[in-house]
Chain A
Amino acid sequence: MMDNILIVFYIALGTLGFGLLFNIRGIKLICGTLLGAVVQIVFMVVSHFIASSFLVYLLAALTGAVISEVLAVALKCPATVFRILSILPLVPGGGLYKTMSYALSKNYDMFSSEGLNTLKISFALAFGILIVTVIVKAYRHVKADILKRRKLKKVKV
């Protein structure tokens, strides 16, 4: 339990660090840091119940993307800012490095398995985000359409 709390704390600190590197300021930085921690908690809880790592990463990214869309509307800034911070704890940076260092040391078995794993995680995260983005875009289109029709009706009357 203590270990898990520490891990969430480290992830929050790392997200804060990356937020500073990406020049995010003020309340958005604080929200982003908390978002990173929340996504890590979701990831840890979900991975308790589901064995497939693809699904776990997908669900975590999905949660992060939903929260970041909400935050983006609430704080009036592009959702990208929060989306990047939300997937930061899960992004396979270490895996990417290990893949390349296996390739350099000619350990091709480990290279392919680590590489495929990295690719799988990236795909899961990208899918999670994409699902939310597509739904939000569709919603906005429908909303804009309805508004247009209402305006047209008013003009006719």
Chain B
Amino acid sequence: MDKILTSHMFGSIIITSSGRVLMDQINNVKSELIVKVNPMQLLSATLDIGEQMLICGAEVSRIEDTVSRICMAYDMLRVDAFSITTILFVTVHTKDGKIITQARKIKETVKNYYKLEKLNALSRHICKNTPPVSEIKQQLLQIIEGSKQKTWALLLGHIFTVIAFTMYFGGKLIDLPAAIIVSLIIFLSSRFTRRGGVNRVIYYLLTSSVAGFISVFAVRLGLGVNLDKIIIGNIMLLIPGVAMTSSIGDMLAGDTITGILRMCESLLIASAIAGGFAIALLVRGRFGL
């Protein structure tokens, strides 16, 4: 596959299309050296990997670690990676004295652990084999394409979670139809609202108030009996309990800023959810539904 692109300096060095530099046999050097990857391109590709990891919900320390490992594998003198929940900065010092900084900012995180596994495997592969940048980019694209969340899995996930937590908090079998209908509404709203880049607090406020109204109506129509159990079952879908716990974990592990940001975010979202359901219950009380 490798084509010879240039031969350099009286035929003693050959650069092939995969970016590898082969010493000519005249010099009797058998070793194959990976030199001269464009550090700008390399850093950009590395940051793309870090960005994808940040999007799919990896811990900040893991991202910093991965990015510095990849850069060190390509013989950088020094790597400083810094990341918080939505931003990733990296500065590298190359061997020929260049200092390069690049950054990425992401908009939102969607937990996707299948993608995280694949990215982890990719970064290990890179550290071991130091492939050329074009290969990294190609594999990254493949991962992004191949690890999209499937709709049926999301749908089943919503339904299972709601059934489980409605029953866990003391609901009865008669409550399940209403609970499942409300979870479908939440599923639909997460499917269609989030794409437009709606403000997160507003999104949670609207979703939970709509979910609250629908659960009130469903109980009114006789699809369920225990309104509070139906509501708490659906709240478990929305509430950022894991984010809250992992924010404290981040703080304890030394990523204080990330922990504080995540904690604030989860408290805001929790109060938006509480507010949304409170609106529905208030209206129900006022109009005697």
In the bound complex, CA of A20 to CA of B152 (Å): 9
Bound-complex Cα distance A76 to B278 (A): 45
Q: Are B248 and A123 closer than 8 Å at their CB atoms? A: yes
Q: Which residue of B lies closest to A32 (CB)?
A: B113
B242 close to A91 (CB less than 8 A): yes
Number of residues on chain A facing chain B (CB within 8 A): 47
Interface residues of B in 110-145 (CB under 8 A from A): 111-117, 120-121
Checking B62, B157, B248, B271 against A17 with a beta-carbon cut-off of 8 angstroms, the contacting residue is B157
B156 and A20: CB pair below 8 A? Answer: yes
Residue B245, interface by CB 8 Å: yes
User: What CA separation (Å) do A84 and B116 show in the bound complex?
Assistant: 13
Q: How large, as a class, is the contact surface on chain B?
A: 35 or more
CB closest chain-A residue, reference B278: A104
Is A80 part of the contact surface with B, judged by Cβ < 8 Å? yes
Which residues on the B side are within 8 Å of A78 (C-beta)? 58, 62, 113, 116-117, 120
The reply to whether the CB of A87 lies closer than 8 angstroms to some CB of chain B is: yes
Q: Which residues of B contact A28 (CB under 8 A)?
A: 117
Report B-chain residues with C-beta under 8 Å of the C-beta of A100.
Answer: 267, 270-271, 273-275
Contacts of A88 in B (CB 8 A): 242
| Most B Cβ at <10 Å: residue of A17, A18, A91 | A17
Inter-chain contacts of B252 with A (CB < 8 A): 126-127, 130
CB within 8 Å for A21 and B158 given contacts A11-B168, A84-B242, A92-B244: yes
Judged by a CB distance under 8 angstroms, whether A103 is at the interface is yes
Residues 142-188 of B contacting A (Cβ, < 8 Å):
147, 149-150, 153-154, 156-165, 167-169
CB proximity of A114 to chain B, nearest CB, Å = 11
- Please, how many angstroms separate the alpha-carbon atoms of A28 and B118 in the complex? 13
Q: Residues of B with Cβ closer than 8 Å to A?
A: 57-59, 62, 111-117, 120-121, 147, 149-150, 153-154, 156-165, 167-169, 232, 235-236, 239-242, 244-246, 248-249, 252-253, 266-267, 270-271, 273-275, 277-278
**A binding-site residues for B, Cβ under 8 Å:** 6-7, 10-14, 16-25, 28, 76-78, 80-81, 84, 87-88, 91-94, 96-97, 99-101, 103-105, 118, 122-123, 125-127, 129-130, 133
Q: 22 A-B contacts, Cβ less than 8 Å apart?
A: A10-B167, A13-B161, A13-B163, A14-B161, A17-B160, A20-B160, A21-B158, A23-B111, A23-B150, A77-B120, A93-B235, A93-B239, A96-B239, A96-B240, A100-B267, A103-B271, A118-B244, A125-B245, A125-B248, A126-B248, A129-B249, A133-B253
